């Protein structure tokens, strides 16, 4: 029999707050939240000019000048969220446990700020060489390496990069490793910091960026809003968590993964269906037992329509009973960190027994006809919830999270 996998620590930083406490307050606020605003770090002449930036962030409050020479912004966010999650879990890594712990931290793009700074130096300023730490800083695995070095983790450590599903795959892979007794503890999540001039122009070239704000499932939605930040969760086998009397937030009850094998940018409902169906089968729960879905809900015309169709196909008549929301309307699309941050949002929803809303919704779309939580949080009993991540290239992850119950 495979091990049960539980969540014992949470940490995050995003436009919705620099830590879980601030994130929770923003997520469940009954007032308007100003988390999406005009880009502040560069002047944009594109059709879109908004993003979900981490505001009032001063890296010198967290890192020394020497450390910052080796840390891209995305790795900074990863370390900040990892430290919060580890502190929250109240876990200490002994020599033995360091060998029985893995670090899996995802990112879609990695050190984009470092890349663009290097190009600026070489091709605009005419410099002959870049900073010697340019390559170690820009690597997608840099955040994982920094976390493992800081805490002395000597078990498996690697990065996942599957576009917007990166941290979802990290959580799923870690869950499998914990289930099969390869490790006892996993530090998992994702980080992203790509609100840079070049990357923003590239996304704008796809014509998927919003021109006003993020309005998932709304008839007048105009696209996604790029966000930045990081989310980290501490996962443990149930036996390990019990042995050290850890507080348990939730249980990872099911994981599902699939590939559309269809198109680089166009979503396919069948791929999303396969991931959700696989998660349900893995959990051994019935579709009727799921009360809430934290949707991928990117705010693009195609995604929201396709995801709605997929949810109808998987949940049948129960689809209209489900509550659905997209927290990307609050923290933006944090790409490779999105699944981790949204899993944290889902766990907080179960903890508070309250659903986070889809903000900025104005007008119903006939093709998006589920029971969405609109504009304001809503009290709801939640025992089992799903969090979806559907990435470019058709790379899909669905995670099922359940209220923790002590074994009888």
- pLDDT tens digits along 318-356: 999 999 999 999 999 999 999 999 999 999 999 999 999
- pLDDT above 90: residue 47: no
Determine the average pLDDT of the residues in 70-86: 98
Q: What is the enclosing helix (H) or strand (E) of 350?
A: helix 338-352
| Active-site residue, selected from the candidate residues 102, 164, 214, 368 | 164
Calculate the alpha carbon distances from 114 to 119, 132, 229, 245 in Å. 9, 12, 16, 42
Q: Give the model's pLDDT for residue 71.
A: 98
Q: What is the DSSP letter of 356?
A: P
Helix/strand/coil percent split, the chain, to 5: 40, 20, 40
pLDDT at 68 over 90: yes
Helices (DSSP H) in 134-254: which residue ranges? 134-138, 142-151, 166-179, 197-205, 238-243
Q: Please pick, among 333, 361, 368, 384, the residue that the annotation labels catalytic.
A: 333
Beta-carbon contacts of residue 105 (< 8 Å; ≥ 6 apart): 78, 82, 143, 144, 147, 159, 160, 167, 170, 187, 188, 189, 190, 191, 232
Tokens of residue 373, six digits: 């939580």
Active-site residue flag, 18 = no
Question: What are the tens digits of pLDDT across the range 267-293?
Answer: 999 999 999 999 999 999 999 999 999
pLDDT surpassing 70 at residue 156: yes
Q: What is the mean pLDDT of the chain?
A: 96
Give me the residue spans of the domains in the chain: 5-244, 254-402
Indicate the class that CATH gives domain 5-244. Answer: alpha beta
The distance between the two most distant Cα atoms of the chain, rounded to a whole number of Å, is 69
For position 44, what pLDDT does the model report?
85
Asked if the model's pLDDT at residue 2 lies above 90, the reply is no
> Any catalytic annotation for residue 384?
no
Is residue 333 part of the annotated active site? The answer reads yes
- From residue 262, alpha-carbon distances to 208, 271, 272, 349, 393 in Å are 19, 9, 12, 34, 8
> Percentage of the chain with pLDDT > 70?
100
Helix (H) or strand (E) holding 98: helix 95-99
Q: What percent of the chain has pLDDT over 90?
A: 96
The CA distance from 240 to 61, in Å, is 34
Tokens of 324: 């659905």
Rounded CA-CA distance 62/76 in Å is 8
Interval 131-152 mean pLDDT: 97
What does the pLDDT read at residue 46? 73
Is 254-402 the same fold as 5-244? yes
| Record: fold of 254-402 | Peroxisomal Thiolase; Chain A, domain 1 (3.40.47)
Per-residue H/E/C for 99-139? HCEEEEEECCCCCHHHHHHHHHHHHHCCCCCCCCCHHHHHC
**Mapping DSSP to helix (H, G, I), strand (E, B) and coil, where does residue 90 land?**
coil
pLDDT at 316: 97
Mean of pLDDT values over 65-78: 97
Angle of CA points 336, 319, 368, to nearest 5°: 65
Q: Residue 408's pLDDT is what?
A: 64
**pLDDT tens digits, residue range 204-254?**
999 999 999 999 999 999 999 999 999 999 999 999 999 999 999 999 999
Contact 334, 341 (CB under 8 A): yes
DSSP line for 317-340: GGGGTSEEE-THHHH-B-GGGHHH
Residue 1 predicted with pLDDT over 70:
no
pLDDT at 339: 98
Q: What average pLDDT does this structure show over 27-34?
A: 92
Q: Which pLDDT value is given to residue 374?
A: 97
């Amino acid at each position: 029999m495979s091990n049960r996998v539980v969540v014992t620590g949470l940490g995050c930083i995003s436009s919705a707050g620099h830590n879980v406490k601030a994130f929770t307050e923003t997520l469940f606020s009954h007032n308007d939240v100003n988390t999406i605003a005009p880009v502040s770090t560069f002047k944009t002449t594109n059709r879109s000019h908004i993003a979900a930036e981490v505001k009032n962030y001063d890296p010198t409050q967290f890192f020394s000048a020497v450390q910052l020479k080796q840390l891209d912004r995305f790795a900074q966010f990863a370390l900040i969220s990892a430290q919060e999650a580890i502190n929250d879990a109240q876990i200490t890594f002994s020599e033995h446990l360091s060998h029985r712990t893995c670090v899996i931290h995802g990112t879609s793009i990695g050190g984009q700020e470092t890349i663009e700074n290097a190009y600026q130096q070489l091709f605009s300023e005419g410099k002959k060489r870049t900073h010697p730490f340019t390559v170690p800083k820009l690597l997608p695995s840099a955040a994982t390496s920094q976390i493992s070095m800081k805490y002395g983790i000597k078990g498996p450590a690697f990065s996942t990069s599957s576009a917007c599903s990166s941290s979802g795959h990290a959580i799923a892979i870690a869950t499998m490793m914990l289930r099969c007794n390869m490790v006892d503890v996993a530090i998992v999540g994702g980080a992203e910091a790509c609100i840079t001039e070049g990357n923003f122009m590239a996304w704008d070239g796809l014509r998927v960026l919003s021109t006003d704000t993020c309005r998932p499932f709304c008839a007048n939605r105009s696209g996604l809003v790029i966000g930045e930040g990081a989310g980290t969760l501490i996962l443990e086998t149930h036996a390990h968590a019990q042995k050290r009397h850890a507080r348990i937030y939730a249980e990872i009850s099911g994981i599902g993964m699939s590939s559309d094998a269809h198109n680089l940018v166009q979503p396919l409902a069948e791929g999303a269906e396969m991931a959700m169906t696989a998660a349900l089968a893995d959990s051994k729960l019935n579709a009727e037992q799921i009360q809430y879905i934290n949707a991928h809900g990117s705010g693009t015309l195609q995604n929201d329509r396709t995801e709605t169709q997929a949810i109808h196909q998987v949940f049948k008549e129960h689809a209209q009973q489900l509550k659905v929301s997209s927290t990307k309307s609050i923290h933006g699309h944090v790409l490779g960190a999105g699944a981790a941050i949204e899993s944290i949002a889902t766990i907080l929803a179960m903890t508070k027994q309250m659903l986070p809303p889809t903000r900025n919704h104005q007008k119903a779309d006939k093709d998006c006809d589920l029971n969405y939580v609109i504009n304001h949080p809503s009290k709801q009993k939640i025992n089992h919830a799903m969090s979806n991540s559907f990435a470019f290239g058709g790379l899909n992850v669905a995670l099922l999270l359940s209220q923790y119950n002590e074994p009888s």
